[in-house]
Amino acid sequence: MAKDGEKGEWKEYIWNPRTREFLGRTASSWGLILLFYLIFYIFLAGLFALTMYVMLQTLDDHKPTWQDRLSIPGMVIKPNADEAFEIVYNTQDTESWDMFAQALDKFLSPYNDSVQAQKNYECTPDQYFEQEDSGDVKNNPKRSCQFNRTVLEDCSGIHDRYYGYRDGKPCIIIKLNRVIGMLPGKDGQPPFVTCGPKKEDTDKIGELAYFPPNGTFNLMYYPYYGKKAQVNYSQPLVAVKFLNITANQDVNIECKINANNIPAGNERDKFAGRVSFKLRINTKN
- For residue 2, pLDDT over 60 is answered with no
| Tens-place pLDDT, residues 49-60 | 999 988 877 766
Lowest pLDDT segment from 34-48, 126-140, 149-163: 126-140
pLDDT at residue number 90 = 95
Q: Residue 87 in contact with residue 278, Cβ under 8 Å?
A: yes
- For residue 230, pLDDT over 70 is answered with yes
For 53, which DSSP code? H
CATH fold label, 75-282: Immunoglobulin-like (2.60.40)
Q: How far apart are CA 114 and CA 110, in angstroms?
A: 9
In terms of average pLDDT, the best of 24-28, 72-76, 115-119, 139-143 is 115-119
**Phi, psi (rounded to 5 degrees) for 252:** -95, 125
**Phi, psi (rounded to 5 degrees) for 182:** -70, 135
Please compute the mean of the pLDDT values over residues 181-192 and round it to a whole number. 86
For 74, which DSSP code? -
